[in-house]
Amino acid sequence: MAEIELSARIGALIVQHAATRGVDPERLQKSTGFDPRCVADPDARISLAREEALWNEAARLGGDPDFGIHTAESLLPGAFDVLDYAIRSAPTVRAALERVARYNRLQHDAAIYELKELGPILREEHRFAFGPGEQCRHSAEFTLAAHIVISAQLTGTRLLPRAVEFRHARPADSSEHVRLFGVEPSFLCATNALEWFACDLERPVLSADPALSRVIERHAQALLDAQPRRDVSYADRVRHELAHALGQGDATLKSTAKRLRIAERSLQRRLANEGVSFDALLDELRRELAVRYLADRTIAIAEVAYLLGYSEPSPFHRAVRRWTGRTPSELREPGLARQPRA
C-alpha cells in the first residue's frame, strides 16, 4: 500500500507554533526530517509518519501536553490554501462544514469528514479511510479544535458543540479541552467527533461572497479531480473496521463480516487474494497500536490492553512479549517504545 501523505502546510503550522513555545525550528527539523522550506511548493506533501513525529516532538520540546489545541488557536485565514478559501466564502457555517467534507482530500490522502443528521443535531465524524486506525492525539485534538476556532472566525461569535468525542485516552488534565470546547469531552470513543445544534450552523459567514465562492468551488473541484485516485484494498477496509472495533471488544471475524455485509468465508477469501489473513491483520494492527499506546505514559498498561480488545491483562502481556521480545513495562523504558524487535 502506498504511503499516506498530507499537505506540507500542516507540518509548517506545527513548526511555526512550536517556535512560539521556544522550540528551535532547526532542532525540530533535525529530529523529524521535516524541512519547512518545502512549503514554498504549494503541492508539497509529507508522510503521515513524519506529521506524527512533528506533533509529538514539538509537544515534547515545547513542554506542552495540549499542543494540538494551542496550535489550532494560532490558525490564521489562508492556512489551508484553496480549502480555506472555500470554507471562508461559504454562505453559512453548515455550508462551510459541507465543503470541509467535500474538499478535505486536497489536504490529506486518508482523512474523511462525515456529516450525520440526528434530528436537531448535526454530528461530524472524523476518521481515516485507510491506513492506521488511530490518529496521533495532538493531531486529533488540533483537527476538532480547528473547527471551533474557525467557526468563531467565520461568524464573529463563539459557536460551541453540544458534545466532543475522542478515540484516545483521557489526558491527565482536560481543563484546556473544557476551556476551548465549552464541554468536557468523552474519551476512548469509537471515533473522533463533534456534535452541533443544527440551528447554530445556520449562522451566516461574515466573509461570504457568492461570486468568489463559485470561482473557488470550481477551482477546488478541478484540483480534486486532478488528484491521483488511491485504490483502497480490501485489507485496508478490514483494518479500518478493526481499528474502530478493538476498543469495543468486538474485533472478531463474525462481527467484522457483519459490519462489511459480507459472508465470513467471502471475507477470508478476499483477504487471501491479497495475501493476508484476518488473524494476521488483527495481530499486526494490535502490535502497531500497542507500541504507540505504550509510548504514551498517560495511558495505564491495563488501559492499553482494554483499548486493544483484551478482556484480561495476561493475554496482552504475552502478545507484547511475542511481538517485541519485551514486556509492556520494559517498552516504556526511554528509547525503547518505538523500537520493537522483529
pLDDT digit string (tens) for 89-123? Answer: 999 999 999 999 999 988 988 788 999 999 999 99
Look at residue 273 in the predicted model and tell me its pLDDT.
87
Looking at 226, 255, 288, the residue that finishes a domain is 226
Look at residue 174 in the predicted model and tell me its pLDDT.
97
Look at residue 191 in the predicted model and tell me its pLDDT.
87
- CATH of residue 327's domain is 1.10.10.60
Q: Specify the higher pLDDT residue, 276 or 338.
A: 276
Look at residue 232 in the predicted model and tell me its pLDDT.
61
Q: Specify the higher pLDDT residue, 129 or 112.
A: 112
Phi then psi for residue 144, to 5 deg, are -75, -40
- Mean of pLDDT over the chain: 88
- Do 124 and 180 have their domain in common? yes
pLDDT digits (tens, 9 = 90+) for 193-215: 999 999 999 999 999 999 999 99
Look at residue 228 in the predicted model and tell me its pLDDT.
65
Look at residue 109 in the predicted model and tell me its pLDDT.
82
- Do 107 and 199 have their domain in common? yes
Distance CA 283, CA 321 (A): 13
Residue 18 domain flag: no
Look at residue 234 in the predicted model and tell me its pLDDT.
79
Decide: pTM greater than 0.85.
no
Residue 215 domain flag: yes
Q: Is the pLDDT reported for residue 86 higher than 90? A: yes
Pick the range with the lowest mean pLDDT from 35-39, 137-141, 203-207, 272-276. Answer: 35-39
Looking at 209, 226, 243, the residue that finishes a domain is 226
- Do 203 and 287 have their domain in common? no
- Across 264-280, b (16+ Cβ under 10 Å) vs e yields eeebbebbeeeebebee
Q: Is the pLDDT reported for residue 1 higher than 50? A: no
Give me the long-range contacts of 274-282 (CB less than 8 A, separation at least 24). Answer: 274/233, 274/234, 274/235, 276/235, 278/238, 278/253, 281/235, 281/238, 281/239, 281/242, 282/242, 282/251
pLDDT digits (tens, 9 = 90+) for 148-157: 999 999 999 9
Look at residue 32 in the predicted model and tell me its pLDDT.
94
**What is the H or E stretch that residue 45 is in?**
strand 45-47
Looking at 184, 204, 226, the residue that finishes a domain is 226
**All three cell numbers of 59:** 509537544
Percent above pLDDT 90 for the chain: 57
Report the Cα–Cα distance between both ends of the chain, in Å, rounded. 20
Per the CB < 8 A criterion, the answer to whether 259 and 248 are in contact is no
Q: Is the pLDDT reported for residue 184 higher than 90? A: yes
User: Number of structural domains, the chain?
Assistant: 2
- Do 238 and 202 have their domain in common? no
Pick the range with the lowest mean pLDDT from 3-12, 225-234, 301-310. Answer: 225-234
Look at residue 341 in the predicted model and tell me its pLDDT.
39
pLDDT-derived band at 339 (thresholds 50, 70, 90) equals very low
pLDDT-derived band at 186 (thresholds 50, 70, 90) equals very high
Strands, sheet with 111-118, edge to edge from the N-terminal-most edge strand:
111-118, 121-128, 192-197, 163-165
Look at residue 134 in the predicted model and tell me its pLDDT.
67
Domain membership of residue 190 as a residue range: 67-226
- Do 194 and 259 have their domain in common? no
- Do 264 and 298 have their domain in common? yes
Distance CA 289, CA 309 (A): 11
Hey, CA dihedral for 7, 13, 16, 19, is it positive or negative?
negative
pLDDT-derived band at 274 (thresholds 50, 70, 90) equals confident
- Across 322-338, b (16+ Cβ under 10 Å) vs e yields ebbebebeebeeeebbe
> Which of 94-108, 230-244, 279-293 is predicted most confidently?
94-108
Distance CA 133, CA 118 (A): 25
pLDDT-derived band at 66 (thresholds 50, 70, 90) equals very high
The two beta strands, 5-7 and 121-128, are: unpaired
Closest CA to 3 of 127, 130, 105, 112: 130
Residue 4 domain flag: no
**All three cell numbers of 255:** 462481527
